[in-house]
């Protein structure tokens, strides 16, 4: 089949919410003139109004594919990389060469920073869209294209409890538990009473059989991480996520060896090389690839490598319109070692109507999108929130 890419359009999608991501602003957290604020608990910048970046690829015969990456901060930077730099190298290319295209686009910037940040995000959006076009051309789902679907639903864990008090957060978790969810994760930056009290209260409220993880948002020292692992042990944490600054790989390996609980990392990784640096040092037991950063190609490379080493794959999921989430669920469904997929309920429930198709999360499980390619497209509602970038 020769049906090359003929057109690329880029959109910035407004994902405005009533509440800031992770919950209301805490003391010393305020919005600056450009709409950003800094979470004091992890020193990370977030926009008050979320957004995302979506690309639409159209083949010569009119097959349309969609891709998405992070557009949270400075989305026009990523959009301009796609418009100015990547577009001429993708036009006229055949989607069947998707992995080769990915590698060639990486090579373009090898000496200027191809391993992270905005450039990798731009590649991820293009990569997802190319896989989507290819699936539609071959009349197969993404899962079929990459080796075959092993499951049509994936257990979802409830991520984040955006409420102001510990009592409200435990009650919110209990509501989800009553709705059929058996796994949870809370975030250190908004655990105002500290991770130990947060874990103790959740364990007490939810009972012994529910899984409870703690996302440490890269905030601890090595010693503090090992100490916290000891303190949390009586409450049987599911896993501790991202305990140290991402660049402290030796420290992460030390913590993973000394901690009794499982260590999970990977949401910020872009490529297999990020993964190998940690996996080869046995610095984690669970990996959390994020489709919005990796695209399909690197998601597969990272996950296949992790699975070959016996690690659990627990895909990450955060702020997006549903396009990269659909790709993540499709890809995740092909792996034996996926037992849960993150469920950002405050995002997904708000924007579920932004995509077409059967993708849903109900009673503790994601229902996978069906149809060819990634299985979803922007709905009419989402199109009303998309601005063409030119």
Per CB under 5 A, residues contacting Mg ion are 215
Closest distance of CB 186 from Mg ion, Å: 11
Closest distance of CB 268 from Mg ion, Å: 9
Q: Which one, 131 or 176, has the nearer CB to Mg ion?
A: 176
Closest distance of CB 192 from Mg ion, Å: 18
Q: Which one, 68 or 290, has the nearer CB to Mg ion?
A: 290
Contact between 264 and 289 under an 8 Å Cβ cutoff? The reply is no
Q: Which one, 262 or 376, has the nearer CB to Mg ion?
A: 262
CB atoms inside a 10 Å sphere around CB 68: 29
CA distances from 348 to 27, 64, 114, 321 (A): 27, 24, 30, 8
CA distances from 220 to 44, 104, 137 (A): 14, 38, 48
Q: Which one, 241 or 365, has the nearer CB to Mg ion?
A: 241
Q: Which one, 5 or 244, has the nearer CB to Mg ion?
A: 244
* Residue whose Cβ sits closest to Mg ion: 215
Q: Which one, 218 or 351, has the nearer CB to Mg ion?
A: 218
Return d(Cα 288, Cα 236) in angstroms, integer. 20
Return d(Cα 55, Cα 79) in angstroms, integer. 9
Return d(Cα 232, Cα 3) in angstroms, integer. 55
CA distances from 229 to 196, 226, 240, 281 (A): 10, 5, 8, 20
**Phi and psi (nearest 5°) for 309?**
-95, 5
Closest distance of CB 321 from Mg ion, Å: 19
CA distances from 131 to 70, 117, 142, 143, 204 (A): 18, 21, 7, 10, 45
């Amino acid at each position: 089949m020769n049906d090359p890419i003929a057109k690329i359009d880029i959109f910035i999608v407004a994902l405005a919410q009533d509440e800031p991501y992770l919950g209301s602003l805490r003391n010393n957290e305020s919005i600056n003139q450009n709409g950003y604020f800094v979470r004091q608990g992890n020193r990370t910048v977030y926009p008050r109004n979320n957004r995302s970046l979506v690309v639409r690829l159209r083949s010569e015969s009119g097959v349309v594919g969609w891709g998405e990456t992070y557009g949270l901060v400075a989305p026009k930077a990523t959009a301009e990389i796609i418009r100015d730099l990547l577009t001429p190298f993708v036009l006229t290319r055949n989607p069947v060469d998707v992995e080769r295209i990915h590698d060639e686009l990486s090579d373009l910037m090898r000496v200027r920073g191809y391993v992270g940040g905005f450039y990798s995000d731009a590649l991820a959006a293009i990569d997802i869209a190319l896989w989507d076009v290819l699936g539609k051309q071959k009349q197969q789902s993404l899962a079929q294209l990459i080796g075959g679907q092993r499951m049509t639903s994936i257990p979802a864990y409830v991520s984040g409890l955006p409420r102001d008090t510990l009592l409200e957060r435990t009650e919110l978790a209990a509501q989800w538990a009553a709705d059929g969810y058996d796994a949870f994760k809370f975030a250190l930056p908004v655990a105002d009473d500290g991770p130990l009290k947060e874990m103790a209260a959740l364990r007490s409220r939810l009972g012994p059989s529910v899984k409870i993880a703690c996302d440490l948002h890269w905030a601890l020292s090595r010693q503090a991480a090992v100490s916290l692992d000891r303190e949390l042990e009586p409450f049987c944490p599911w896993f501790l996520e991202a305990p140290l600054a991402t660049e402290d790989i030796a420290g992460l390996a030390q913590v993973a060896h000394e901690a009794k609980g499982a260590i999970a990392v990977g949401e910020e990784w872009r490529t297999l090389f990020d993964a190998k640096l940690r996996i080869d040092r046995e610095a984690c037991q669970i990996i959390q690839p994020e489709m919005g950063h990796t695209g399909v190609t690197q998601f597969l490379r990272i996950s296949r490598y992790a699975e070959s080493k016996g690690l659990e794959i627990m895909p990450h999921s955060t702020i997006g319109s549903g396009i990269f989430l659909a790709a993540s669920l499709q890809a995740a469904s092909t792996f034996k070692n996926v037992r849960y997929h993150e469920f950002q309920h405050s995002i997904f429930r708000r924007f579920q109507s932004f995509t077409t198709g059967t993708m849903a999360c109900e009673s503790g499980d994601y229902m996978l999108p069906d149809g060819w390619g990634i299985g979803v497209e922007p709905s009419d509602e989402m199109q009303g929130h998309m601005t063409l970038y030119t």
